[in-house]
Structure 1
Amino acid sequence: MRTLLVVGVLLLGALAGSAGAAPVQDAPADVASCGVDEFTTTALDTTRWNTIVRPNAAGYSVSGGQLKLRALTGDMYGDRATAQNLILQDVPNGAWTATTKLDSKAFNREGQQAGLIVYKDDSTFSKFTVINKGTQGRWFEHIFTADKVARLEIGTDTTPPLNDSFPALVSIRVISDGQTIRGEYSGDGITWAPIGRPAKIGSGVKLGLYAADNAQDGPEVPFEFVSLNAQSDEFSGTDLEKCRWSHIEREAPGGYRVANGALEIDTGLDEVDGTAPNLIGQPVPGGTWQAETKIDLTTTLEGQQAGLLLYKEPLNWIKVVLVDKGASSQIEFVRVKDGQYQLDAPFNVAVPDSLTSFYLRMRSSGALATAQYSTNGTTWIDVGKSRDISDLGAGYLGPMALRGEAVTPVTAKFDYVRVAPSPVVPCTANGTPEAGYERLWNGLDLAGTTQAGPGGFDIVNDGTEGCRLVSQGGLGLLWFNTKTYDNFVLRAQFKTADATDNSGIFVRFPNPGTNPQIAIDSGHEIQIREGVAGDGEDQKTGSIYNTKREIARAAKPAGQWNDYEIRYEKDVYTITLNGTVVNTYTNTTGTHARAAGYIGLQNHSTADEVSFRNVRIQPLAVAATNLFTTVGITTNATRANGQIYPPTNPYSLPAEQMPPSGTVGVAPSDASDDVPLRMPDTTGTKPNFAGMVGQVFTLRPADQKPYTKLHFFGTTTDGGPAGGDFTLRYSDNTTATVNVQWPDWCGNATASAHFAIGKLNGRYRANSTGDTAGCGIYHFPVDNPQPAKTLVSVTFPTGATTGTNTRAYLMALTLEATGAIFTMPDLSGQVAFPDDNKAPTTSATFNPAAPNGNDDWYKGAVRVTLNGVDEAGGSGVEQIMYRIDGGAPQGYTGAFDYATEGEHLFEYRSVDGAGNAETYKQQRLKVDAKAPTTTTLLTPGSPLGGDDWYDGAVTVRLNAADGAGSGTDEIRYRIDGAADWSTYEEPIVVHTAGEHVIEFSSLDIAGNEEAVKSLSLKVDETAPTTSVRLNGADPVAEYTSAVRVAFTRDDGDGSGAVETEYRLDGGAWTSYRTNGAFDVTGNSGHKVEYRSIDLAGNVENFKSLIFVIRPPATLQSPVVIPQAAPAPKPKPFASLEDLSSKVSTVSALRAGKVKVNVSCQAVDRGTLSLSVTKAVAKKLGLKSTTLASGSLRCGAQGRGTLTLKPSTKVKRALAKTKGSITATLTLRLTGSAGVARDTQTVTLEGKS
């Protein structure tokens, strides 16, 4: 008995080792024979169908070889799991395929649907259905629901609407690798097309039938059968199980067999892309997979080979085979893409000629395939390098054996083919962190992370490029839980699978646990999403979501990696995308991200797939924040700098009576306690009071610890008490508030607030000597509500104003830990400036230096460079700013291109470190970065004739739009390549018959010229002209025997006649295209009426012809009676009958199904050919203009038939084209009466 092994990891047989060691095995694989239920009984087989979710016995029955499942009220979508009678069965272990056929003809209302469902529970499932979409008709869709969130993107997860000719009887199948599922549909059970995207649903699922109507009970849906098959096959029977091996390319039944526990395939003549027979396959799984086989093959001639093949079509496939190379043998891993062999090294491994029993394996990551071989099934050797197979997702996987040009076949024996999910390959981390950076994500696994909310991230191994995180489901957050960050530079690479995919990087948020909303409410999201026009989301990549939009766009297209940098330093965000600064923002007034916090990656929804890799971070020093806003303490010499209210002649406290600047010690007037404080700068040149404006003061990491008390040193001017609630934030993200109220600065102490400094002997005024009021600084101590928790930050209250001049101010803050240990943070941020009272100056340069277009317009983007310079010994330029059209100021971070079209006012200035701001300078810019866009309007709006022919004159109107640019100056056009261009001034009317090309472009005032566009029109407003031929000649009045009637048509340069109708002697109208030339007999007068119709739909007025057939006269007496002149001998005549539209296609010609009928007279043999022009032949890659030809005989009845069959070379050329082909049929016949010819232009319709 053969041992069966699951191929989820390497397949192992007996291993070398210590004596008595048992073979290493996985659990036995489920490789049961094909499971098919054709519903041949009168009751449901409940052994097979062992689960019914929400059963309703009245809603299903089995009879007449069908399961009739009624579309009862309900649905399976997102959080709506209400559908009845989900009839389910278990699926095999590992890879499997399920197929069903159902009849949708009873659908009569929008929303009615039926198909297959893969069901885990009411929260996670996938349905593959055909659905009635009302006025849009039917389409197929794959809707994946995970954690009650549905994934549905119209056009991506749905097929286009089906046309009315698509059968009601449809087939649906699901292919699984054991983890990932994908779907396909078919109208004939032979040709299959994909349904939507694959979905990773995991294991532990059931497969079943599904029918529903989400509005009310609907019709019965008959299911004809369901097959459910494991994809692995041990070939233990006597016949190939075609329900599993559902695709055999070029089947030759005698060339393969199942015998003695193996599949035997005789090596067929030719190659995969030639005529090699018996390419046996089954639908390739979705997701990651591996296929393994064991082969016995003894070769005798060069070219004989056997192995595994993933096949989509003759021009696209990949194989791993052992092949006889004549003097040697080798294992090859060969990819053919669009007909091109990829044989760049390495692609093969030499093996001994004596190797006749071997193992082959092909592995797929979903996008890349690798191959290995083994001589013992245990030790595997790589073959070649990985190859891209992203275009083979709808292919077929299986064994193959062929012999190239070798004359003699040999037989390859396949012991088994086993298909399973590919084993997980250990990750390698992508990229190397720069100096000073550390990995935030280790690039290997999810260690050091926590998933908050639904969904999560998969780890995908991209081989030599390392591993990446891929978002799945949502709305959730994968956050890095080992460390918080205050100031930092974060760098990462990301890419989207589609332009509309959405994600983001969250920063500076508190510990969210398992709730992603905490990061949304408390942190900042740096947006990742480009989207498409009109999708309703204006915030693009680089936006600080719901806070500040991006200022530039620099994302690469979907599928390409982007380099993203997020810098947060001193409250300023700088967002850089692919080397371009796309946003800056100063975070001083908002309520989000006001303290150091964690960093996380968003998984937005089931419909969004975003990948991340090389995520690293450089922590920066904690930003020193100056909380002071007001000059409240001055020396006598600087009294004019005082800023305490009122606005005119404001007050300040005398510095000479207070501790010196920067000193730390016990306040000299504080008799109540010995709490030290840090004095601010009291020289009167810098702010030294902090107003209550909601500032966030984040402690240095070294100062973040538990504290028992907080001591607030401050005062209130002209009123009070005033202050407010200070918010304390702790390391676990909890908060508490303490209320502080300082009395009037010249008032009296209270039980809660005593004087720490003062009362002083007077105060200064800006423009006078001041007064003798006794004012001072109060000390307001409070207990910490959470003394055991680590204090991280203190947020000031806002609006601490109770009157016109009443303001509360903080001068110093002291934190007290257990044991009277004091910490005195410097609220000034240690900002020390030199004596600088002069603003810097800024210069601007533009490239081009002057407008390069007409009327002072720039023809394209303007490169703007700003440079700020402070005076010698000054504090230096702190910031260069600019604004456009009076908008919000933006920080200048380097030269940039300005390409926004229109007339703009560009303003710029610099600010130095002392806060001196330059007056804005101005420059007018007129920018027109692109040419106008010309559009067309046609009347009629669309052609009414066939093949896009208009049946009357066409009016063409041109319109050019230049947006906010300089405006359109001229629209030019020409028709059919005329030598001269014309200026467009009025609508163009095209009425001349034939095919025409109108070229046009526009020029704007700045001088930008649009690239030439073109419009093709086909016009035919005249009906064809039909002529009749009797016995191959012009008609005469009388004939003495049967008359052969034929027609010729002429449509000039028009669309060409497609049909001629006639009737004889008032009978029914008859198609000449179908019946061809005909004979008229009967001695009497006859009337033939006829008319023709061209492709544009023009109908000829019918004509008529009258002639007489008289019998030859007989002699009644010797009297000589005048006789009519004898009928002339028939002239040679040959005519091609119109081709049926069913065979007028490229695919029909490739298949040798183009059948041509001809009519003839007085000629009986000749040739028929189908040819193209030299230009078309060159485009197809052919040297000859003849696509197909053959000899033809015209029978005694005047009819002949020939089926055109192209050569293999022509077939291959036709397989590469998707468009239609215009060709000419040429008929030439000869006979005793001479030569007859006819030609006909045909259009072979392509795939698109």
Structure 2
Amino acid sequence: MSQLASPPRPQTRRRDVLRRVVVALLAALTGLSLVPTTAGAADQTLTWTAGNSVTAYLTAPETAVAGTATIIFENSRATGNTTGMPHTLTFDTSTPGYNHDVDLNIVANPFDANGGYYEAEVTLTPGTYRYFCSIPGHGPMWGELVVTGDGGEPDPDTTAPTVTADVTGEQDDDGAYVGSATVTLGATDEDGGSGVDTVEYSLDGGAYAAYSAPLQVSEPGAHTVDYRASDVAGNTAEGSVSFTVVEPDVEPEPDTTAPTVTAEVTGEQDDDGAYVGSATVTVAATDEEGGSGVDTIEYSLDGGEYAAYTEALTVSAPGEHTVDYRATDVAGNTAEGSVTFTVVEPDVEPEPDTTAPEVTAAVTGEQDEDGAYVGSATVTITATDEEGGSGLGMVEYSLDGGEFTHYHEALTVSEPGEHTVAFRASDVAGNVGEGSVTFTVVEGDVEPEPDTTAPEVTAAVTGEQDEDGAYVGTATVTLTATDEEGGSGVASVEYSLDGAAFAAYTAPLEVSAPGAHTVDYRATDVAGNTAEGSVSFTVAEEDVEPGPDTTAPEVSATVTGEEDEDGAFVGSATVTIAATDADSGVDTVEYALDGGDWTAYTAPVEVTEPGAHTVDYRATDVAGNTGEGTVTFTVVEADEPEPGECTDTRATVVVDGVDTGVANAETEGGCLNDLIDEDGDYATRGAFVRHVGDVLRPHVADGVLTARELSTILRAAARSTIGA
């Protein structure tokens, strides 16, 4: 957490400016961060400064110690900002492998109310923080701050945890447990410090299982419980306890009491008590008095057949409804109930977006007489979602057949030769538009002229208009900026709605509040040149009633993967199902593999079994209409790699989908990802963590990995679901 401090008084501020000028000059010359502190200040003061550059901060600290800290960020004339270029100091709170407990985002420029000078109080914890400038086009401005707790890296945990077992229950004169014995396991890791990861037990020589609650043993006879605990670092402690269970003299009374079952209806209600749009019925059952325990819970909607109750039931069909429900305990006793309610349609239902965004690419740069780009070519991708209306989701590009990458600024290609850039844009509703552009780059001999020309920026307002020209319901403002004449490329695009503060423009702006509106906008290129504009319009209220939905959803499936010459998929095939419904909306998507049971579709289905396969699929909308389809394909076995060959060629080490950021180096036994072997057979997550430590620890000694990189990979393994 962080808190911005108030700006200093004018007299104090003038003295502070002089001190900061000296500090900035010394920091630039020595690489040190020198900031005067005052009585009652935080444990330490950390200073970042910025200027005209969009590729690096002028000064930034590299290390700190855990505790409170005063963060100073200055982007002012005193630190050399002569163009008015805005910058931010933003702490990363999402990238794996970094600390995420400081939420800091300071925006500063020489012409703001503070003259580009800000302070914030934060609390730092041991680990590494990633910081960056979030202004579009300033992507290279980032770094890391390493925070230590005691001035150095913590020692690795090599001490096994402490694990104990306690056997309780009623005992006879011989010490045997009457009826049952309860084994309670306890584990701590105070000495090691990495924390307990798994606790497991084995009853009478059986397979080890995860311990989650005290173990009750009621089978008469002698028993032995072996137990073990592993910490996050992979250290394991073991133990064993033996005891005897004898039968009790008296049998328990039979359960003749039905369980207690209730139902609750929730949702938005109108003045008449009817549920608007949908009602949710939650059924709960207990069997405290009978004691045998609840066995099944079932429900029947509007007189239909009873079905197993597994989760809250949502009813969206307009009209009166009755849900009958019942619960049965293990002894066979049943309790029943019923609840009645009414569902009405909401006033307005927005039309779903089924139209893909429009996406184009422009290639700019100096060209020779053959049309080739001299020295480099700049590819600028522009995407809008005016017709669909759900708004842009993501824009991506692929250079020369490589993997698609998130597009956030103009792409410069300087490698001589012919190039192809494929590009695509998806909107919030999942529709995708795509295209490609091909060009040639040749080597150049002349340095480009400096960019002194402002970019071009325009605004287009779209939407349904009434006869007075007002936009009905919503007006969408799309900004477009190019820098073809200047050539340095667009760095940022910003807008201000109705006189509010300027904000970064990342997607078309939807304005739905009725009334007159004005959008001011501006664009700045990498060289700092700025162009401005303004557009005004009026929004009128919308009055639309949707009709009933009688049309089935559109559903399709695509099969992807590596194919051989016969079109068979090598090693595996991935089936991706897509469904859209322009009326009431998609409710469920399901699939059945090779004639099996229907299963809810939540993610692409990977099929690895060699042979011919058929996937049936279907989608049902909220109104109950269903669309279906089938796709058929063949999977063949992949060729076995040579011993020691690197088969997992990803650039970094990835554990259970988490990118650790550690380079996937090659070894004699294959790449690091090959050695980790995520698909191996591990009894527990602790066993997987121990395996990772065993196969990677030797590579710290031979210099392939550092101790810190090994610790990062082990933390990712401990947080994974592998073996769990």
Structure 1 and Structure 2 fold alike (TM over 0.5): no
> Structure 1-normalised TM-score?
0.14
The one of the two structures with greater contact order (alpha-carbon pairs below 8 A, sep at least 6) is: 2
